[in-house]
Amino acid sequence: MTTSRRSLGDWLKDFEREAFRLETLDDYSQSGGVEAYRAFLAGEPQPEEYGTAGWLTTVGNATRSGKRMYRVHVVSRPLTDHLRFEFGWGYVRNMTAGEEFFVLDVTDQENPIPEAPDFWLFDDTTVGAMRYDDAGKFLGADFVDTGTRPEFLEYRDAAMSAAVPFSTWWARHSA
């Protein structure tokens, strides 16, 4: 099933044109930024190290070299605490490095991709299917064979056609 000996980290640094991410979970709280999430829940300021996270370097390096990094998050309201954190702190922070975000809000509409898993799609050719436990802890990425790639391209295209830019959505729903 594996198409590459490269890790997810390798792909995030070495893709050529674009990296697309589909997020479908309501809680990734055990997958990074745990201390920042605790601060968010406690009403404390963002920890300084959260604002200088390595992800910002990865995104900034890619976007400065003309590559595109973008994602769609499938959500329904009301947002979980973790999604409020991810959107209000994470997405806003990551946008400063050039990452683009879109929201597919299925609160009042049918989800056009209900069977889609979380994944990264690199240059329309390589898929890293993401695995998480029930608590939102990242367990790894499985690189799927090229025969399944068309279905992931369809997931991306359907998500992008139904999603709205994060900034527009957040302006309406952040309160």
Q: What is the pLDDT of residue 48?
A: 86
- Strand, coil or helix: 109: coil
| Section 39-51 average pLDDT | 91
Domains and CATH numbers, the chain: 8-173 (3.30.870.10)
The Cα–Cα gap between 131 and 94 comes to: 22
Q: What is the pLDDT of residue 99?
A: 97
The pLDDT tens digits for 118-152 are 999 999 989 999 999 988 889 999 997 666 789 99
pTM of the model: 0.92
Least confident of 7-16, 27-36, 73-82, 100-109: 27-36
Dihedral sign for Cα atoms in the order 109, 112, 116, 118: negative
Terminal Cα distance for the chain, rounded: 44
